[in-house]
Amino acid sequence: MPRIPFRLILAHARKNKLRALLTVGSVFMAVMIFGFLRTFIVGMETSLNECNAARVVTGSRLSLFAHVPIKLQPELKALAEDKALGITHFTWFGGIYLNSDPEHYWGRFGVDVESFRVVYGGDLNMPEGQWTKWSATRQGCIIGADLAKDEQLTIGSRVRVSGNIFPGELDLEVLGIYTSKVRSFDQKTMFFHWDYMNELSRKEGGRADVVSTFTMLLKSPQDAAPLCSKVDAEFESSPHRTLTMTERMFQAQFNAMWGNLPLFFGILGGVVLFACLMVTSNTMMLNARERVQETGVLKTLGFTAPMLLCMTMVESLLLCLLGGGLAMLLVQSVDGKMLMFVIASVPPSTVWTGLGIAALLGVLSGLFPALMVSRLQIVEALRRRA
């Protein structure tokens, strides 16, 4: 069986290094953009899927950013009767750490340590000693492993955060570093005592005795829906109207703030891939036109039209798969890391789809030049100069 002259295919790529590099680069960029967009969307979906179905979140009906008074906690507990294993609360502190640069912008929440552990302890890995020390230390905090790495913080590090929602400056000591057992709980967040934050805010004349949300952990996920209705009905006529939903719904609402990202990303990715197809097609057509005479020589030597078609397709596929492969390596390297506000998730399907897109680009951009090359008449080809 005749062999494909791979040496010749590689030699062609080496001859026009810049052109080959630019082609590989354009495929790399397009597939990388696709990969990151898909990773982002899969990350959002994964965080939704991994939400605990037995947890319900209660916040203000006004908006996600409005506060509710802490005094609702015993009332919520009473409404849950014996169906809840625990109830805790979160308060988004916001604030500025070091400076306003985006890399220092991560989640900072005031919580009640004991109830936080009851409701969310199962999602985290952290040594018992660190839980104990944090619980006993008013100005202590715990941080996610990714945050510790990014900000180069270790146990004992001091963290000062200036408030911009609540006044005052938090002066905290890192007492624990957690890792997450589930993707719905990210590793780039800091938790500290709500009492400390609340007292500081009151002292500085800011808002006090308020929280962002309450979370209840129920014994059975089946109790979630009736409890949501019951809670919201109870506070319907109060000054603090609530919106209660499952954790999954809450996460979905949070994601929805970004609009229809899958559609937007789909259009964006499609446009980028189409532009890339134009670039690679142009390169392959240019290559084929430059090698008209060479094609004539190869046919003269006995290389058949299908072999030449195959050679052009292989060259196109190699360039595109190289770009796509490198892009997917980069995309895979962010698996499990924070990507904007979601934990990146790169399942094998994303990698295979990325490689498939690269291969499709290779086939589509190589097809017309390959057909042109295979149909060239030898006598005509030998007569023509590139």
Binding site for other proteins (CB under 8 A): 2-3, 5, 7-8, 11-12, 14-15, 293-294, 296-306, 378-379, 382
Q: Token pair for residue 300?
A: 């003269």
Q: Are 183 and 171 in contact (CB under 8 A)?
A: no
Residue closer to other proteins (CB basis): 12 or 183: 12
Residue closer to other proteins (CB basis): 5 or 266: 5
Residue closer to other proteins (CB basis): 173 or 294: 294
Residue closer to other proteins (CB basis): 217 or 308: 308
C-alpha distances in angstroms, 269 versus 231, 274, 322, 346? 42, 9, 19, 17
Distance, in Å, from the CA atom of 298 to the CA atom of 294, rounded to the nearest integer, reads 6
Q: Minimum CB separation from other proteins for residue 312, in Å? A: 15
Q: Minimum CB separation from other proteins for residue 7, in Å? A: 6
Residue closer to other proteins (CB basis): 6 or 258: 6
Residue closer to other proteins (CB basis): 5 or 336: 5
Q: Minimum CB separation from other proteins for residue 3, in Å? A: 5
Q: Minimum CB separation from other proteins for residue 5, in Å? A: 6
Q: Minimum CB separation from other proteins for residue 6, in Å? A: 10
Distance, in Å, from the CA atom of 107 to the CA atom of 343, rounded to the nearest integer, reads 13
Q: Minimum CB separation from other proteins for residue 306, in Å? A: 8
Q: Minimum CB separation from other proteins for residue 309, in Å? A: 12
Q: Minimum CB separation from other proteins for residue 283, in Å? A: 16
What's 3's DSSP letter? P
Residue closer to other proteins (CB basis): 23 or 242: 23
DSSP calls for 7-49: HHHHHHHHHTHHHHHHHHHHHHHHHHHHHHHHHHHHHHHHHHH
Residue closer to other proteins (CB basis): 16 or 282: 16
Residue 280 exposure: Cα atoms within 13 Å on the Cβ side: 38
Q: Are 113 and 135 in contact (CB under 8 A)?
A: yes
H-helix segments, the chain: 6-15, 17-49, 72-80, 113-120, 128-136, 145-150, 194-203, 224-234, 247-256, 261-290, 292-301, 305-332, 348-375, 378-383
Q: Are 316 and 280 in contact (CB under 8 A)?
A: yes
H-helix segments, 137-239: 145-150, 194-203, 224-234
Distance, in Å, from the CA atom of 66 to the CA atom of 213, rounded to the nearest integer, reads 9
34 burial type by CB count under 10 A (0-12 exposed, 13-18 middle, 19+ buried): buried
Query: Residue 166, Cα to own-chain centre: how many angstroms?
Result: 29
Residue closer to other proteins (CB basis): 139 or 293: 293
Q: Minimum CB separation from other proteins for residue 325, in Å? A: 24
